[in-house]
Structure 1
Amino acid sequence: MTRIAIVGVAGRMGRTLVNAVEQDAGATLAGGVVEPGSSLAGVDIGELAGIGKKGVAAVDSLEALADDVEVLIDFTAPKVTLSNLAFCAEHGKRMVIGTTGMSDDEIAELDGFRNRVPMVFAPNMSVGVNLTLKLLQTAAKALGDEGYDIEVIESHHRHKVDAPSGTALKMGEVVAESLGRNLKEHGVFERVGQCGPRSDKEIGFATVRAGDIVGEHTVMFATEGERIEITHKASSRMTFAKGAVRAARWVADKDSGRYDMQDVLGLGD
C-alpha cells in the first residue's frame, strides 16, 4: 500500500484526491496538509472530503508527516510546490506534481531536484488526456506540414488563474515538437484588431473561462475542404485525481528523476 499525503487537502482538488485515494486498493491516506495557521488543522481529512472520518487529521506543516508518508501529491501553486520539493529532497520522499502556471525559471528550479527526488510532473494527470497527446503526435506528423492550420481551444471554470491551461500548452508543445517547430516562436496567444492573416506555421491558442467547466481541450487541424478535431472533455475532477493516485503508486519504487504521465502509462517513445 502506497502511503500518500495530499497538499492543499481542503481545496476542491484536494478533497477529490482524498476520495480517489480512498477508492484505490493500492493506496492509503497518510496525511493531508492545509495552509499554515489554518483553522482546519486538526480536522479529519475524510470529513473535509465529505466521506466521513478516516482517522487522519489535517496538519499545517509537512514536517508533521515526515515519518508517515511515501509520496506527496501536490496540485497547489508554483512557489508552494517548489518548497515541498525541497522537503521531499531533504526527507527522501517522492512527489506527484499537477501544479500548472510555472514560469520558465520555476521549471528550471524544479528540474534542479530531478537528481534528488523521484517525481511525476504533468500538466494533466488524466489517462484520457495523455492518450490524446499520443494521438496528437500521430496526427501532427501526418497532417501538419501538408497545408493544415493548427489551433488549440481550451475551456475551464471561471476560477482558474492561469491561461492558456497547462494542458493546452502541452498539446501545443507535442504538436510543435512533432513538426520540428518551436512553440515559443510559432505559438500565437492573442489576436486583436488588424492582426493580418495567419502564417503557415503558427499554432494558435484560444481560451474560455466560464462557469464550472472542469476542462475541455480541442486541437483543430484545418485545411480547405476538411477539418479534423481531436477533443478531450473532462466532466469531473476525479479523472485527474485517479490519474494522480496511479502516478503516486507508480513512482513509489522509482529512482530519482523527472517523469511524466506518458512514462506512468507506458506511452513514451
Structure 2
Amino acid sequence: MVRIIMHGCNGKMGQVITRLAAEDGNCQIVAGIDTFRGIENTYPVFDNLKDCDVEADVVIDFSNAKAVDGLLEACCEKKLPVVLCTTGLSEEQLQKVEDAAKETAVLKSANMSLGINLLMRLLKDAAKVLAPAGYDIEIVEKHHNKKVDAPSGTALALADAINETQDPQYAYCFDRSQERKPREKREIGISAVRGGTIVGEHEVLFAGEDEVIEFKHTAYSKAVFGKGALEAAKFLAGKPAGRYEMSDVISF
C-alpha cells in the first residue's frame, strides 16, 4: 500500500484525487497539505509539509506556483519523492525542480493523463514511418472558452514528441491566415479551438496521398489527470533520486 501526502488537498484536483485514491486498493492518502480548512477530510491536514509528521512514501502536488518552492525544500529535507503537477512555474522554479531531483525523486510532466502520454509514444513510432514517406502532419486542439494560452502545452508536447524522431526537425506553423501559399513540406501545423466547456481534445493527422491516419485523445473530465497522478505516485514510491517523466510510468 503506497502512502500518499496530498499537497493542495482541498483544491479541485486535490479532492478529485482524494476520491480516486479512496477507490484504489493499492494506495492511500494519509495526510493533506492546505491552508484552506473549509472541507472535511478523512485524513489530517497541515498548513505545510514541514509541519507534517505523518509517515508517507510520496507526495502528489496539485497546488499553485507560490507553494512549490517550500514544497521542494521540504521534500528534499525529508527525502520524499514528489509528483509535481502544478503548472505555471518560472524558469527559476524549473531550475529548482532539477536541483531537487539531485536530492529526491521528482516526476514532472506536461500532461498527467496516461492516455496522452501513451499517445506521445505512438506518435513517435508513427512519425518514423509516415514522415519520411512525405505525409503532412497537423495537430488540432480544442479547449474550453476560459483557457488563455494557445496552443495548449499538450499540443506542443505532442509536436515535440514527433520532432524527437526527425532530423532535421519540422518547423511549427501556428497561423496560416496571413499566408497565401501552399503549406511547407517540413512543418507541423498546430490549430487551436476555444469554446464552451471542452475539457481537452487533441487530434493528430498524418495526411498522405489518398489516405489520412488520425490519432485522437479526448478528456471528458479532469479525473484523467488525477488518475495519472495516482499511477505516477505508485510508480515513484521507493525510486532513487532523479528526474522522472510520465513516459517512465508507461514504459513498455
TM-score normalised by structure 1 residue count? 0.83
Secondary structure of 1:99 counterpart: coil
Hey, what does 2:217 align to over in structure 1? 232
Residues 211 and 87 from structure 1, CA distance in 2 versus in 1: closer, same or farther, beyond 3 angstroms?
A: farther
Instruction: Give how far 1:173 is off.
Output: 0.9
Hey, what does 2:128 align to over in structure 1? 141
Cα distance per residue 1:201-255 (max 9 Å; x no partner): 1222222232222221111111342221100112222222122111111111100
Stretch of structure 1 that moved more, 246-255 or 61-70:
61-70
CA-atom RMSD in angstroms: 2.4
- Partner amino acid, structure 2, of 1:12: K
TM-score normalised by structure 2 residue count? 0.88
Q: 1:64 aligns with which of 34, 51, 57?
A: 51
Residues 66 and 175 from structure 1, CA distance in 2 versus in 1: closer, same or farther, beyond 3 angstroms?
A: farther
Stretch of structure 1 that moved more, 249-258 or 72-81:
72-81
- Partner amino acid, structure 2, of 1:201: R
1:17 and 2:13 correspond? no
Hey, what does 1:202 align to over in structure 2? 187
Identity of paired residues, percent? 37
Hey, what does 2:8 align to over in structure 1? 8
Secondary structure of 1:112 counterpart: helix
Give the gaps of 5 or more residues in structure 1. 46-53
Count of matched residue positions in the alignment of Structure 1 and Structure 2? 252
Matches of 1:190 and 1:101 in 2, distance apart? 24
| CA contact 2:30–2:54 (8 Å) conserved in 1 | no
| CA contact 1:85–1:117 (8 Å) conserved in 2 | no
Hey, what does 1:253 align to over in structure 2? 238
Give the gaps of 5 or more residues in structure 2. none
| CA contact 1:73–1:97 (8 Å) conserved in 2 | yes
Instruction: Give how far 1:196 is off.
Output: 4.2
1:177 and 2:177 correspond? no
| CA contact 1:66–1:91 (8 Å) conserved in 2 | no
Q: 2:40 aligns with which of 28, 38, 44?
A: 44
Matches of 1:189 and 1:109 in 2, distance apart? 31
Matches of 1:160 and 1:7 in 2, distance apart? 24
